[in-house]
């Protein structure tokens, strides 16, 4: 089913508000989720709403958090999330980081004690829209086997980056340090589709194409993805004095408890280095040069990172955002949640 962006956001907001979030926090959270869906990142969009609603309703997300920003140095700070919506806390923390970078050239802001924050490119794009460079990393459930291992240790531990170009354009990267994010497995489940055998392994450590048999995810490019996942864990966990590695809280284990996750924003102001206008011109030039490269067989064009998402957004603006029918029916229903996520394993089983 296809929905216009405003309708989808309104449905998500209303459901989260009904579950217990304040109207303001429900609106921000819905904006982050709609951002994902309108870019085709359905694994981090509306399909997550029922999980959030159940966690909110059961007390696992603080509906009245006392958010606090603690400045720890000229260019550093900690945003205390108090168990609240990760989407809201990460947005507010990025606002603080942007302001600090505008004044001092760079900013590093840790975000502590939050719930899941969704597609983290939302926050780096937030920075690029403010004419600064955004870099963000965050923790996630331990569900990835380390290179050479047979048991999960790190999470999918995503990395996002964005830099502004001219005329509102930007380069934007958002990637898990696994071959695919766990949300992609959930999306395959919701559509009863198989997955490539390079994404995950079953309980025996063997490759699987059945999303319901996934027991662990695989790091991207073997030891390289393993190393990147370690880096993210250090920056968003160890550095902030939070649980790390296989001690990071599970998304589903107990929905009455706060997750206490960590995220780290790094913001750089080009005006303190090469000059803002020159920087934006060079970003736009590099994007155009990439577009002009002769495409390989089977490809119509070379895109700069993030440009393919712009095409999806344009198509969805014209024809509506495609959402699985069952999810739309849930969003339009009076049901807060169906009590289906609590006390499950990392893979919701």
Tokens of 197: 């055998």
List the one residue out of 134, 139, 171, 136 whose CA is nearest residue 156. Answer: 139
Tokens of 185: 């497995």
Using only the alpha carbons of the chain, give its radius of gyration. 20
Q: Which of 116, 187, 265, 337 is catalytic?
A: 116
Bridge-based pairing state of the strands 2-3 and 321-322: antiparallel
Report the 10 Å Cβ neighbour count for 239: 14
Tokens of 94: 């990025």
Q: How far is CA 200 from the centre of its chain?
A: 20
User: Do 263 and 84 contact (CB within 8 A), yes or no?
Assistant: no
User: Do 138 and 103 contact (CB within 8 A), yes or no?
Assistant: no
List the one residue out of 85, 81, 84, 142 whose CA is nearest residue 109. Answer: 81
- Show the CA angle centred on residue 181, arms to residues 175 and 182, nearest 5°: 160
User: Do 183 and 144 contact (CB within 8 A), yes or no?
Assistant: no
Is 80 an annotated catalytic residue?
A: no
The residues assigned a catalytic role are 116
């Amino acid at each position: 089913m296809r929905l216009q962006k405003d309708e989808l956001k309104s449905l998500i907001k209303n459901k989260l508000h009904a579950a217990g979030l304040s109207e303001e926090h429900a609106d921000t959270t819905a904006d982050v989720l709609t951002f994902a869906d309108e870019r085709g990142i359905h694994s981090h969009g509306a399909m997550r709403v029922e999980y959030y609603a159940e966690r909110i309703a059961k007390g696992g997300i603080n509906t009245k958090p006392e958010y606090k920003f603690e400045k720890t140095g000229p260019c550093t700070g900690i945003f205390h999330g108090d168990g609240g919506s990760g989407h809201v806390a990460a947005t507010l923390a990025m606002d603080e980081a942007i302001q600090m970078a505008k004044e001092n050239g760079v900013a590093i802001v840790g975000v502590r004690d939050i719930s899941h924050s969704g597609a983290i490119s939302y926050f780096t794009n937030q920075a690029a829209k403010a004419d600064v460079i955004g870099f963000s990393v965050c923790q996630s459930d331990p569900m990835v086997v380390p290179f050479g291992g047979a048991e999960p240790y790190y999470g999918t531990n995503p990395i996002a980056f964005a830099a502004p170009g001219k005329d509102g354009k930007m380069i934007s990267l958002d990637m898990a340090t696994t071959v695919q994010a766990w949300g992609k497995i959930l999306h395959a489940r919701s559509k009863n589709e198989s997955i490539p055998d390079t994404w995950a392994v079953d309980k025996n450590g063997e490759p699987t194409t059945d999303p319901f048999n996934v027991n662990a995810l695989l790091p991207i490019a073997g030891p390289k993805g393993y190393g990147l996942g370690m880096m993210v864990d250090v920056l968003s966990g160890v550095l902030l004095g939070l649980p790390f590695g296989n001690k990071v809280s599970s998304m589903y284990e107990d929905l009455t408890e706060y997750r206490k996750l960590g995220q780290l924003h790094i913001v750089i102001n080009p005006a303190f280095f090469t000059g803002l206008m020159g920087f934006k011109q060079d970003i736009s030039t590099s994007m155009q040069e990439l577009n002009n490269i002769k495409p390989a067989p089977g490809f119509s064009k070379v895109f700069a990172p993030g440009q393919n998402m712009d095409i999806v957004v344009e198509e969805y603006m014209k024809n509506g955002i495609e959402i699985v029918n069952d999810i739309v029916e849930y969003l339009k229903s009076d049901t807060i949640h169906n009590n289906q996520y609590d006390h499950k394993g990392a893979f919701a089983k």
